[in-house]
Chain A
Amino acid sequence: MFQKRMVVLWIAVWAVLCLAPAAQAAMPAGFDDNEIRIGQWGPQTGPAAPWGSVARGSKLLFDIVNEEGGIHGRKIKYFIRDDMYNPAQTVAVVKELVERQGVFAFVGGVGSATGMAVRDYLAAKKIAWIGPAAADKDFAFPLNPYLFASYPLYKDEGSILAKYIVEKLKMKKIGILYQNDAYGKDGLEGVKERLATYKMDLVAEIPVEPTEKDMASQVLRLKTAGAETVILYVMPTAAVITMKTAANVGFKPHWVASNTLSDYPLMFKITGGLWEGVITGALAETPDSKSPLMIKYREAAKRLAPEERWGVFYYAGIVFADPIVEALKKVGRNLSTEALLKALNSTKDHQTLGPKVNWTEKQHQGTDSVMIHKCGPNASYIMLQDWTTNDMATWKK
């Protein structure tokens, strides 16, 4: 009997000894005296891999920060994990980063569905997530104290583009081809809301499934509706098929597209040059901009990441990650998640290569502004309109 009790006692003691450090190791602090651990997920392989450059663009910013001595004596240790644009994979890599690597905060993260898969988990773990690389209303509404969005909503962009089409291009017959999901529908909503103020309606509004490989009937419908301008809220492949099909049937409207299609060198190449003349929304300055910050980052990229193409999605990674660097500088040496949140909540008119970002304790959608660019000859960028806010953004009121 005594022996049995001793065995039970030993097991209990060992369990306490083994589990105590394990419990500590389960949630590392996220930083120490020398480093702050920051993570990002993104598709480095798989069908969405072209957008994987966002995560690598953020790396450039952190490399520059580290090269300049870090933030208050701490270097940034940055982790990129490939989720292949698969929400199940995103959950796995985020859990690994949080529970094994002890990440302090996340930046960027391409994709709405992937982000939504980990949004509540990160909030439950009280880990800040700054600048999701997708415009999903559900990121900032209802307010999530740990999530700070800086991507202009597609609804705001749609509204700004529609205003430009009517007031600057003087077009009256507008059609839209939109992806049949939150991305396309938000863009459609913004366009319709704006057109209603001019007492106008779309001549054709046509949904497209993301996997669609044949656009003949949709293009014909736009053509017979007499659309002078067609707005595209679709994926790059669908845009290419649409442009090629339209060229085949001699349909030549003004094409206007979402910022997701603003990588002109890529779009120009895969459409065989048909992308020239297309107008798009833009969430950052043009790649050849002469602004001092753009020059600084462009030159740094040549030195630190010579293998990378200086494309919009690459330096968008800087746009999404920069606010955390500013906030960490503001916090000082006494770092904590609460201090970081406080600094982020006092972000006012912060601007690097993207739009001005404002966050308060009550508002975590940081911007409603986009630029408008046009694809010129040989995939060059022409700036048509500087940062424009959406005067109809209902979420601001």
Chain B
Amino acid sequence: MVEGLAIGACYGLFATAVVIIYKTSEVVNFAQGEMAMFSSFVAFHILSAYQYPFWLAFVITMLFSILLGILIEFLFLRPAKHPSILGMIVITLGAEMFLMGLASWKWGAEQKFFSLPLNPSVTYEPVKGMIITNWAIAVFAVTACIMLFLYIFFKFTRLGVAMRATQQNKHAAKIMGIRTERIFSFAWGFSSLIGAVAGMFFASRATLDPAFMMEPFLRAFAAAVLGGLMSIPGVIIGGALMGLIENFFGYFWPHWKPIIAFIVIILVLCLRPSGLFTKHYVKKV
């Protein structure tokens, strides 16, 4: 159960990255997984080629991931003239393929070993049969910190309020003196950073290769839809729910594990199209 919750929290964390961009520009960023993959490869490269200590590599990777997010927004999305939402999505798909090709060219398609400085042999068993791993503790701690930061950021900082304003009405925000282009750059950079953290968690659990984030992206997107694409706490809960449901079915009915989450999502979309934790609203045209 704890592992299920932890993997769910990891989906939720990654879904948060998707939601941050969606909240500001209403674009689902299909390059999110590959941005995280690319940043994880950068961390791997710093660790293996330069032998830097993990925390230094981590900080450099975080800075790189912010830059990567800003660059993708600047180079791929900003030049598009009056793009429709569908057009923007297609552009993100192009960015996804570009990053995957670049990573394959630079690091090859062979799987790589990536680990976090967490001793895998140290586990805790507070209740008999309930094993908590270091990885799970790290995921919970990081997710909680990022959630707290996001709450404070969106509620109490000028930049956070400006981001919310941009999402609600881009033109009004512009009239009020908000530099919306900067807001977009910031959202992409910040989203890329959160994605990179989640990417490193996923890579340390599996392997690192150019295609390793495709499946987690789909799950995270599903978690975001489940929780509601506009609600950050919603996507974390959506992710956790998904992890729990999947692992419950995985244990008792393994054949159902890969599809159960999507069945639940279809049900949720039928009953509450905006997701479990967002208010349903109708856009006036």
Which A residues fall within an 8 A CB radius of B?
A: 43, 45-50, 180, 206-209, 211-214, 216-218, 220-221, 236-237, 240-241, 244-245, 247-250, 266, 269-272
Contact = CB atoms under 8 A, between A and B. Distances in A.
Nearest to A47: B211
A45 to B, nearest CB: 6
Contacts of B257: 209, 212, 217-218
A49 B110 contact: yes
B207 interface: yes
A271 to B, nearest CB: 7
Contact of A217 (B112, B215, B219, B250): B250
A1 B109 CA distance: 67
B115 A272 contact: yes
Nearest to B251: A217
A380 B139 CA distance: 35
Given A45-B104, A240-B206, A247-B121, A216 B3 contact: yes
Nearest to A52: B109
A180 B258 CA distance: 11
A249 B247 CA distance: 15
A43 B209 CA distance: 15
A211 B109 contact: no
18 contacts: A207-B255, A209-B258, A211-B214, A214-B205, A216-B250, A217-B3, A217-B246, A220-B3, A220-B251, A236-B207, A245-B3, A247-B121, A248-B131, A250-B131, A269-B113, A270-B207, A272-B113, A272-B115
B135 A248 contact: yes
Given A212-B258, A217-B250, A218-B250, A50 B111 contact: yes
Nearest to B3: A216
A19 B243 CA distance: 62
Contacts of B212: 213, 237
Given A221-B251, A236-B207, A240-B207, 9 more contacts: A43-B109, A50-B109, A212-B258, A213-B202, A216-B250, A217-B246, A218-B254, A221-B254, A240-B206
B120 A50 contact: no
B123 interface: yes
Contacts of B4: 216-217
A271 B206 CA distance: 9
B109 to A, nearest CB: 3
A214 B104 contact: no
A47 B202 contact: no
B120 A47 contact: no
Interface in B31-61: none
A45 B210 CA distance: 10
A270 B205 contact: no
Contacts of A237: 111, 206-207, 209, 212
B278 interface: no
B108 interface: yes
